[in-house]
Structure 1
Amino acid sequence: MPSLSSVLKSEITRLARKEVKGAVDPLRKASASYRREIAELKQQISLLQRDLKAGGRPAKPKPDVESKPRKTRFAASGAKALRSRLGLSASDFGRLVGASGQSVYNWETGKAVPRSSQQAALASIRGLGKREAARRLETIT
């Protein structure tokens, strides 16, 4: 039977960790955004230095970050969870995103990664429900 002091100590430790995590998470997110901004500024500096070495001829301006299409991340577990949430077979899920059932299986097992066009299709169906997915499948067939 655990003693009162050990139970109290473990509960205090758990609560302290929870509080620290709540305080550190916003800082972690801010740090990540600062690192992205620093990387963009370094790219701009290197571009300007190249221009200066080339005799002052201006290079083509780099498009803004907002104008670039947003890159999507892919995780095998996420694809598997999405397919099971929609209640689709691998072949039906593949038809929904423009791939074969075998490709979907390979994505879910981590043997392959979807192409960028397929990743965009995966991102577009993340917010769908079962009924909307079924409707889209009917229109594809």
Structure 2
Amino acid sequence: MPNLSTILKGEITRLARKEIKAAIDPIRKASAAHRKEVAELKRLVVSLRRDLKAASKPAKARAEIDEASSNSTRFSAKGLKSLRAKLGLSAAEFGLLAGASGQSIYKWETGKAVPRASQRASLAAVRGIGKREAAKRLAAIK
């Protein structure tokens, strides 16, 4: 005949393991979810650092990076300045034609800023016109 204390001890051990497992499973699942979230946050931090590093480069280097990444139109600060001089327009007048402010035109020419892709498209449209056409368009805008 088995010893009553041995049977009781075995049953208590079995029930204790069952209770511990029931208490630990939600914690284990939460821990796995937290590890996933931490990994995702680490990836986000790496991405943000990469963006910050790219944004902190000088405007000239950013222009070169943007030129390499955008296939639609190229932009050159020197080319914009010479186009505006060829048309004989002030930065404010050229800005009216291009759909930007005179200050933006000035910053683009000096390399302190780079136009967005939508602005590059409007600059490309202005690129093909002459002095007379520019004067006509300015008269129509004003």
TM-score by structure 1 length?
0.50
Which protein has the bigger helix share? 2
